[in-house]
Structure 1
């Protein structure tokens, strides 16, 4: 079947695609359409739903990820309609998927966006070019061309007046004439030197360097994501390296990358990966066992295999049926998945992700009523009140408050949770956070792990957004500064004191700090945070990467103890660098 092409409907801002864009495929008979705005045309893509289906939102303010099948097979990728201009800021192209097989285009007023944002909510739409300069020519070279033109005009003008002045006054001797000519030549050289200096300045200003840095970190992230997927991702379970809560963090990292670069995310099929993990991870047969040492380092063991039989609902025998709805015996595990699903909702507007996060949080609430007058327990044995479970409880509550503003319970919980945590004693005299509380609800003095310094930052960023209270950003900034002081080496590279033998749990820690420090920096920027994130991303790529592009546990190098958690953790630092570069 030939692809259908047609001009935009009268009054519409983008072309219409229909199910006739699709061709039948014996191997993949079930396909849906996804309309995606790319460049100056509407792209109509089909994707396999042999393993899952998609229900995208129609909100144009949140660009949708292109989703291919669980097997990462793109059935078709065709432009249904001829390219047309979407460059006018007053007439952006807004492709709005409605029903998967019947797509429509925006005919109303342009969607409201934040100041400075374009049709994708990222880059501003370019204004019409009154000089008709080709769009392929970068802004940098346009500035250089204008500088050359202006300086050349000034040079000619200046030299002309100099000659006129000297001709009007006849020289007394041949020596005077030669001296005048010499001065004219020197003047021209000086002007050309000034011109060259200005051109160099224009080519080396920060915005240009910044774009180059972003491109470099994006390329590094793409390479690292491909390595993560090709080495550690199990399509049948949706899990990376057989590590349950670590996989929730890898899931979050991919969502964060997609938020920063949708086009590259589409090429990597991140939308499909997230959907596959969402569907398959709950279905896997899984058992969990955790131990914790005196320093507070947890070692988690999971047995995860693909389940063929359907789930049996109910709370009995978690070990036999896995973790339906991402719920298990550990509240921190649940919190990691809730945060990841919220990030997936942010980039896809798929309500299923947010609904699942709400269900997870409802289970986390059952961990309350501790003997420490607040907070939640680490697990359902109800014996240990630790930092990470309570930071995650804060972060999920505040995140849900921002995405469900009509439900005030989330904001109430987030506020009271931070007030309790701040007074609990887990924040020590140095401003860092120890692992938890002892049986008397006092700081247990256990190790200061990087992830305990990280999750709270993201939670406070969300709380500040929900309340408008900037004082909590000051609290977050103080914790971040104390953490960097305590955990970074003389070169500014982050460490946990378990290195290089951190186990699967400790291997994940540092990336969580980098990710949440990035969230804080974007809300309350500080040069020291940006410098820290850039240094760690650079060190990971130059000193902590092997010949197969795998990333280890020691960010300062040499590469050691490579695993799925070490790799996805270091990837977090690279994704953070994209955002702050």
Structure 2
């Protein structure tokens, strides 16, 4: 039959909420996490669920999320572990929950995470790699002998700083937070950014000076998120229009290039990132498909959706708005028609075939389930 993607009759909620229910069915009551997922990926799953409630104007999952997050905090105080990026994925989740519920506890823990990670931001002159100052980057872990720095930790700290600057008057000053947001984002642009492709690369080893130029979707996706958050904080702070426009242009150019990058997007428009993990590209081995990289593409989709919301709310760049809408709607369509087993379970390849659904593949689908509510569903008819 054909389903019109309209809000009447509960559609697409009758598709998106069951996908969440399947994901949450794997919750572990003893620690608040999801069976089969690593710690940071659980945070991403809960972030997608919170965004689903926000963007669908529902509160179906708030109580469950609050309970799970409370259990996580009881087992992992303030959601902080030795991985700075892990801790910050949880801070982003907590900010989404704060914006959804206005529960100050979520904001307080996000601030605590910021204060913890800020101690691992590299100061000017401390490291110089190939003639470039590493100032502003965040150490990957809080281990005393850590030498790895990467764009995910930097992008997360930039976004966290900027969003806290918009949300709180306590703790660090709003102006100081905004300075950190720019400081860290500028490290990405100085050290890990391919200007002519608007592509963000992965990490650097400070001990050896070696660069690892992996170009995963979530590196660029998180940089888009950081640029959006910095733009929003600057606008709230009354920043000069020229500087504002720089960060908006940065986000939009990364988005346009991401949606047209052939190594990430199949010829039919499906976001697949075939070389990111085993089971696609040159390695067809499906036995290893249940890995963190299955969810990388979801971070890109999430931040494309955030960019759409910014553009729509400020009536900017309507051409890109339309492109993002079409892009998100197509991912939703592909999941429904080519990557669902009929039991609300989704496999790792958004272009299909369904293959074996796992907690990782279900997690990745949740950002699509949230995004479809943000972009709207009018005027489309998808067979199912």
Change (3 A) 1:354 1:554: same
Q: Give 1:561 shift.
A: 3.9
Point out where structure 2 has 5 or more consecutive residues left out of the alignment.
128-133, 236-243, 280-287, 312-317, 377-384
Q: Give 1:463 shift.
A: 1.0
Q: Give 1:558 shift.
A: 0.6
Is 1:489 aligned to residue 251 of structure 2? no
- TM-score under structure 1 length normalisation: 0.54
Is 1:251 aligned to residue 46 of structure 2? yes
Is 1:334 aligned to residue 121 of structure 2? no
Higher relative contact order (CA 8 A, sep 6+): 2
- Equivalent in the alignment of 2:137: 375
Pairwise CA RMSD: 2.2
Q: Give 1:282 shift.
A: 2.5
For 2:140 and 2:194, the matched residues in 1 are separated by: 17
Q: Give 1:373 shift.
A: 2.4
Comparing 234-243 with 553-562, greater Cα deviation is found at 234-243
Point out where structure 1 has 5 or more consecutive residues left out of the alignment.
1-208, 285-322
Counterpart among 35, 43, 65 of residue 241 in structure 1: 35
Counterpart among 289, 293, 300 of residue 506 in structure 1: 293
Change (3 A) 1:248 1:352: same
Change (3 A) 1:210 1:567: closer
**Residue aligned with 2:74, SS:** coil
Q: Give 1:329 shift.
A: 0.9
- Equivalent in the alignment of 2:240: none
Q: Give 1:346 shift.
A: 0.2
Counterpart among 83, 96, 100 of residue 347 in structure 1: 100
1:122-161 to 2 correspondences below 5 Å: none
Counterpart among 325, 349, 365 of residue 570 in structure 1: 365
Contact in 1 for aligned 2:48/2:370 (Cα 8 Å): yes
For 1:513 and 1:443, the matched residues in 2 are separated by: 26
1:423-434 to 2 correspondences below 5 Å: 423-427=190-194, 429-434=196-201
For 2:5 and 2:142, the matched residues in 1 are separated by: 47
For 1:441 and 1:357, the matched residues in 2 are separated by: 33
- Equivalent in the alignment of 1:559: 354
Is 1:455 aligned to residue 250 of structure 2? no
For 2:343 and 2:209, the matched residues in 1 are separated by: 46
**Residue aligned with 1:437, SS:** strand
Moved over 6 A (4+): 440-443
Q: Give 1:339 shift.
A: 0.3
Change (3 A) 1:352 1:494: same
Change (3 A) 1:572 1:389: same
Contact in 2 for aligned 1:507/1:569 (Cα 8 Å): yes
Contact in 1 for aligned 2:56/2:370 (Cα 8 Å): no
- TM-score under structure 2 length normalisation: 0.80
